[in-house]
A = this chain, B = another copy of it.
Amino acid sequence: MQTFAYLSHKVTIADIARKLSIAPATVSRALNGHPAISEKTRKLVEKTARKLQYKRNNIASSLRSGKSNLIGVIIPSAEINFFGSVVHGIEKLANEKGYNVLIYQSNESNEQERKGLETFLHARVDGILVSIAKDTTEYDHFLDIREQGIPIVFFDRAKEELDIPAVVVDDFKGGYAATEELLKQGYKRIAHISGPAHMDVFKKRLQGYQAALKAHKIHFDLQLVVEGYVSIGSGQQATEQLMRLPEPPDAIFAVEDFTALGVLKQLKAMGKKVPQDIGVVGFANEMFGEHITPSLTTFDQQTVTMGKEATDLLLQLLDSSSKTIAQQKIMLEPIPVIRESSQRKK
């Protein structure tokens, strides 16, 4: 029951074949640049196709070839700038390479993440790109997918133990650099508001923070690390807690920008001046950081590049000919974006 079929008969390769008195197979070959087709036939077919406004039916093509040319992408939330930007990179490369992109938002829920994978299985996507949801602490659903023979690549939120290819930012280095930036500015007692410990991204930033302290021979005070849950409210709460310490910190490295925003809000509410009294550094380079007062020092995660690299990796995996992938793990450099919130000296 084709809706509106009467309006425009869909032209097929059979139509072209009939018109030219050749076989449909020949038309197909000509249209797909098969080498064993004469230049003359090819031109003729192409011209006729254009004239008849032929459009290849991807669905039929997919059914026959077993390739859908679809890539599924699961992101935690489209409302976070960061992911929107990564998707931009994914789409750009994917479209160039003839793939379409299906998006599914997990909303940080494990259940919805699983649903997304299920949906993608149904849609017969050729490969899947995932940034893991915050609530996900079990990973069997990803392994299931891999067992089905569908390539997966993680981006940003990866899980190392699974041995699934991934494109991430060097979070350890980022955490290290963030801490060092504060030390360089003369802050002495640096706190860290971390994210859920089960997530690699946040764990590594914490490790970077610890390593930087150690390198600078600063005693690691456990009281100065508060585990947050990656949100403005969490940043506010953690800040309150930190500032109530007998020896409060003089700088805070927040695990990402939303948390950092919470920190700034709370400090303002408490009448503390940033960066004079307290230094603040975030992570992710979310858009708002540039526009708030004081502007937020942070680290850029090369979002568009991340999307492209992840797609490129997936495409390699899809290309069965390349059995060996160049690199299973790609680390992007976090790029420091130094702004007011950390600049005590100047």
Contacts and interface: CB of A to CB of B under 8 A. Distances in A.
Given A55-B122, A78-B85, A1 B91 contact: no
A149 B63 contact: no
Interface in A55-94: 55-60, 62-63, 65-66, 68, 77-81, 84-85, 87-88, 91
A24 to B, nearest CB: 16
A199 interface: no
B66 A2 contact: yes
A293 interface: yes
Query: Which of A56, A60, A62 counts the most chain B CB atoms within 10 A?
Result: A62
Interface residues of A, number: 53
Given A59-B124, A122-B56, A149-B4, A291 B320 contact: no
Interface string A239-250: 000000000000
Contact of A288 (B87, B104, B292): B292
Given A1-B320, A8-B149, A100 B123 contact: yes
B79 A68 contact: no
B105 A102 contact: no
A121 interface: yes
A3 interface: yes
Nearest to A120: B100
Contacts of A292: 288, 291-293
23 contacts: A2-B66, A3-B149, A3-B318, A3-B320, A5-B66, A7-B149, A55-B122, A58-B122, A59-B63, A59-B124, A78-B87, A79-B88, A81-B81, A91-B103, A91-B104, A95-B115, A100-B102, A100-B119, A102-B103, A103-B103, A292-B292, A292-B293, A293-B293
